[in-house]
Copies of this chain bind each other. A is one copy, B any other.
Amino acid sequence: MIELQLSLKRVPTLLVLCFFLLLGNFHKADARIRHYKWEVKYEFKSPDCYKKLVITINGQTPGPTIQAQEGDTVIVEVNNSLETENLAIHWHGIRQIGTPWFDGTEGVTQCPILPGDTFKYEFVVDRPGTYLYHAHYGMQREAGLYGLIRVAPNDPEPFAYDLDRSIILNDWYHQNTYEQGAGLSSIPFQWVGEPQSLLIHGKGRFNCSSSPSLSTAICNTSNPECSPFVQTVIPGKTYRFRVGSLTALSALSFQIEGHNMTVVEADGHYVEPFVVKNLFIYSGETYSVLVKTDQDPKRNYWITSNVVGRNRTTPPGLGIFNYYPNHPKRSPPTVPPSPPAWDDVESRLAQSLAIKARQGYIHKPPTTSDRVIVLLNTQNTINGYRHWSVNNVSFSLPNTPYLVALKENIPNAFDPISPPDGYDFVNYDIFNVANNTNATSSNGIYRLKFNTTVDIVLQNANTMNKNNSETHPWHLHGHDFWVLGYGKGKFDMKNDPKKYNLENPIMKNTVAVHPFGWTTLRFRSDNPGVWAFHCHIESHFYMGMGVVFEEGIDRVGNLPSSIMGCGQTKDFHRP
């Protein structure tokens, strides 16, 4: 490392960049340890020109990108320097095979990390691809604790590119997460509304002059922290862009003006290539797209991010696709491309359907399943509070993490009654506002028989507002699943399974269920542990839109004591 740093001083910048890129693709047989030390704290930042308190990792939001090679062990020592607030970090898309205790899901797999403490996450990145990390505690993710994980493959990839770049997308609120949480937990319900801005790789732009009362100390568009994101490219090359979304709420349409994108990877799995003008991406998803820099090199182009799926009021996120050697701050001569209509569900459904496993890289799913769980997604009112529910059960986290409670047989840690495997298929009208007066709140979980095949049908429905059904990206911890199918309306248990794609379904860890539609996924309960499965919209999970699966708990190894210390694990002594 010292030699490297010394040499850098003598090498022109562009060459250095190429060197690093080559390094990233370097074929390496021996697994290594990638050691990170992170300090997490609150700092004032102005990602969209509006100054607010954010959670940073080593002074940054988004946090540093973790770079590793397939098979490497990643160690992240997280020092919690928040003053009074705890912490947990989830490694989104990493299956944590053999280390379910390091999944980083507060209340499910671990106790939170206390202020002043250093927690050591240690796990193997067993598959190549593009993954994410983010806080998984309360609504902390929204405060800025998020980033990317890039895992380079040991084997050659089935597509070629010259350069490899990452772009992480987000939406951004000016209200802090405490305020948002208190609003969601209030009677009457107080909803924060649409985000103030969209961030492209941590940079957005709020129109400060829209609130003339804001002083430049609070909102200043000339603050370099909110200079637009610039992606400098060399003409005539093929770029791989790894695009991830960790929005709190928004489904996005991502676009590079005048450039087609060829989708080649989704959530770490190779995709049978298809070309799009705009990439629809939901919170928790990652994609790799190949982009050729084959357009007029005398100008720059817009990079845009736009809300879809909700009647957007948030202005587009804008970045600059900078053809070298044009000046990176030179605005493109055109207006940014228009986004698709926000309510064009068909286009989004079409893109979902287009994502299939790449020939030669197909993992065939089991042809039948041992258990089918249908999960109805609804909005409810319980005791006057607004909730989201799954089969009329609104999920709440217990005080003692499930993993410890189950592995160590701690009694009464959670409701022993499992939520139902379905809902009233016959009578429930998914197209209308329902009077779900029987909805309840529970921390009961699903117990899956180990090494079985499970089908999950996510059934969308009308919210508590007339003619409204939202898009929900569901994320499964500890697994990749096969996406067997999407459909409109109410899932037909008899006929719809016949249309499942069992030939070349993509494997993913996050998938959208579209408005008034359904999505079926299949997975093997082959990873001993306790795993959350939930809507990746921060407020939706907060309001109960999730479930938890246990599988093979008896096969889980000895739990590290570092994950304990809360609830009934506070005084826990292993017998």
A83 at the B interface (CB under 8 A): yes
| B83 A139 Cβ-Cβ under 8 A | yes
Chain B residues with CB below 8 A from A86, complex form? 84-86, 114-115
Chain B residues with CB below 8 A from A567, complex form? 114, 116-117
Chain B residues with CB below 8 A from A314, complex form? none
| B186 A44 Cβ-Cβ under 8 A | yes
CA distance A176 to B87 in the complex (A): 20
- Interface segment, A13-21, A159-167, A177-185? A177-185
Contact A42-B181, Cβ < 8 Å, known A117-B566, A137-B84, A138-B83: yes
How many Å from the CB of A66 to the closest CB on chain B? 23
A399 at the B interface (CB under 8 A): yes
CA distance A115 to B399 in the complex (A): 8
- Chain A at the B interface: mostly helix, strand, loop or mixed? loop
Contact with B along A476-510 (1 / 0, CB 8 A): 00000000000000000000000000000000000
CA distance A186 to B51 in the complex (A): 14
- List which A171-200 residues lie within 8 A (CB) of chain B: 176, 178-179, 181-183, 186, 190
| A399 B84 Cβ-Cβ under 8 A | no
CA distance A114 to B111 in the complex (A): 10
A53 at the B interface (CB under 8 A): yes
Chain B residues with CB below 8 A from A211, complex form? 213
Contact of A84 among B53, B140, B212, B565 (CB under 8 A): B140
Contact of A566 among B53, B116, B181, B561 (CB under 8 A): B116
Which interface residue of A84, A111, A182, A564 has the most chain B CB atoms within 10 A? A84
Chain B residues with CB below 8 A from A116, complex form? 399, 566-567
How many Å from the CB of A95 to the closest CB on chain B? 26
* A400 to B, closest residue via Cβ: B116
CB pairs A–B below 8 angstroms (10 shown)? A42-B178, A43-B182, A53-B178, A84-B137, A114-B565, A114-B567, A116-B399, A117-B566, A176-B178, A564-B571
The residues of A with any CB-CB pair to B shorter than 8 Å are: 42-44, 53, 83-87, 111-112, 114-117, 137-140, 176, 178-179, 181-183, 186, 190, 211-214, 399, 561, 564-567, 570-571, 573
